[in-house]
Chains A and B, each alone.
Chain A
Amino acid sequence: MNPLLSSLRRPLPLCLLLGVLALAAAVGGLASGPLAIGGGDILGALGLGTPPDPTVSATILQLRLPRVLLGLIVGAALAVSGAAMQGIFRNPLADPGLVGVSSGAALAAVAAIVLGAALGLGAAGRWLLPLASFGGAAITTLLVSRLSRVDGATQPAQMLLVGLAVNAVSGAGIGLLANIASGPALRALTFWMYGSLGRAGWPEIAVTAPVVLLALLLIPLRGRELNALLLGEAEAAHMGVDVERLKRWLVLLVLLAVGGAVALTGIIAFIGLIVPQLIRLWAGPDHRLLLPASALLGGALLTVADTAARTVAAPVELPIGVLTALIGGPFFIALLLRLRGRGETW
């Protein structure tokens, strides 16, 4: 192989490249929309040059910057959570969306919106949504990991089936709530089902993003342990990994990342599946590289997808979850076909 290309399999060059990609995606997201904004004005609005026209400045700071930040943070959170779950379960098909964690979080969030006032939970205010969503994620994770254990080992097929059931039940629950909801709550429901980067503004970001960012920073520190875990839980324990503690800790961090992501943007499927697979395909399964690289690529990919979702059919905005599912579905089938009949998992 071309030496330049093969050097891009090494951690530092690859992460630099992906960082540049994420930055480019962010700039693209800030620049494009009904009102095209040039580089000088973007820098100006961010306080790095002469301030532009107030309308331009407001468009950047109040409309596009929160979306771009959400894209980067949520994309990274979903991709890193996917990579971590795949490591914990030693299964490349584990994904917060597929195994039902995202939809469990969404169901809890929707229930909080529709029933929150009636149940007297209004006091939680801005915290209600993220808390409900963390709780929903926690309950589904517990449920899925319990039910997919066969003889003490997590069975991949079993886990996908349990996820299927959880997704169906959560979808039905959200549908039921849609029936009793009215007006604005009803409109909010489509947001939870298909995801959107357009709903959360600065106040929501300020509440939830720090939690997600914390999880994002802590998960990659467990790269070596996750590598050992790929050999098997007993093997990792023989090698000196405190397996139970590691799993508890990682599951908690994934819950925070996914619960926070769902609270901010609703269900966005397949990012957690596609991104880690692409990195593994390119640079191998070493989590010390996989986790940070997935964060960068996930952020870049979701930001690009969001920019496309709001520009391709402007003024209509496509639900971003529809877009990621359109790309992710065929990708998932290709992955299944590739895994079928060979002992290897990329």
Chain B
Amino acid sequence: MRLAADQVEYTVDGRTLLDRVSLALAPGEVHAVLGRNGAGKSTLLRLLAGDLQPQNGSVTLNGRALMAWTPRARARMRAVLPQSESLRFGFTAAQVVALGRYACPQHRPETERRIVGEALQMAGVGELALRRYPSLSGGERARVQLARVMAQIWEPLGDADTVTDAGGGPRYLLLDEPTASLDLAHQHGCLLQARCFAASGVGVLAVLHDPNLALRYADRVTVLEQGRVIGQGATREVLTRELLERTYGIAIELVHTAGEALPVVVAHPPTSHLSS
């Protein structure tokens, strides 16, 4: 019962973007993917989303090849938040979220409206429901898109064909740099929502740039370097100073602040003109 990449390889024009990478996302956990720009984070997410097909290895959803599911069945089990959005038509924010319900069994209109409203609330943009999407700021749009992908997998599945054990079908949410266009408070808000969503039985995979967010919100982490996994496992155990320095190629310090169980990752750039 998981969304898993097994020994996947992906090559473009002779350049290996992913080299025998495995990752298993289980329902209920938040899994962060870290790495430098170009390390293969987004490629891995797009393989798990089914946008790309690996040249070697396999991607399976609940034990069955990802692409063997019908598009609709896939969409009921996993939603994807892409890195950028390009919607230029004048839907309202609520309409955009309702678009996410395309593959879901449709309830009565009131119920559908309630789900859309709650998803917008959860993403912290409840008051924007009737605003026209193109008139929103980048951060507001990102949160409306988050509401849309949450609405897509809002309820546990009931269908016999997708549920193989008791307790509702598993759901997965793939987030590609969900915090990229958000301010500090909303970055935490977004990942808090991801945590809540995970607590309701959704497996959340998030590509992140900030190791502090990963430390705080992820149960597990996969660290990539040039298409290879250089660290994978429980976040607190994997994200050591040594690994972070290797990953980002910069001096790192783990600072423990008073009253906080978690260390804070502080970067020390090599030629910082601020340091004396």
User: Residues on A close to B: CB < 8 A?
Assistant: 90, 92, 224-225, 227-228, 230-232, 234-235, 237-242, 280, 284-286, 342-346
Contact = CB atoms under 8 A, between A and B. Distances in A.
B91 A280 contact: no
A284 B87 contact: no
A234 B82 contact: yes
A113 to B, nearest CB: 40
B90 A285 contact: yes
Given A227-B99, A344-B132, A345-B134, A240 B72 contact: yes
Given A232-B87, A242-B71, 5 more contacts: A228-B102, A230-B89, A239-B79, A285-B90, A346-B90
B90 A240 contact: no
B135 interface: yes
A132 to B, nearest CB: 35
B75 A285 contact: no
Nearest to A346: B90
B50 interface: yes
B91 A241 contact: no
Contacts of A232: 82, 85-87
B181 interface: no
B50 A224 contact: no
Contacts of B95: 284, 286
B51 A237 contact: yes
A284 B80 contact: no
Contact of A285 (B73, B74, B80, B89): B89
Contacts of A239: 75, 79, 99-100, 102-103, 152
B92 interface: yes
What 3 pairs across the A-B complex have the smallest Cβ distances?
A240-B75, A240-B103, A344-B134
Contacts of A225: 102
Contacts, number: 83
Nearest to A231: B87
B76 interface: yes
A301 B80 CA distance: 42
A230 B87 contact: yes
A242 B103 CA distance: 11
B137 to A, nearest CB: 11
A31 B17 CA distance: 70
Contacts of A285: 89-91
A33 to B, nearest CB: 41
Most chain A beta-carbon contacts within 10 A, residue among B75, B135, B152: B75
A240 B103 CA distance: 6
Nearest to B100: A239
A228 B99 contact: yes
Contacts of B74: 240
A285 B79 CA distance: 23
Contacts of A224: 102
Contacts of B78: 238
B49 interface: yes
A12 B89 CA distance: 22
B88 interface: yes
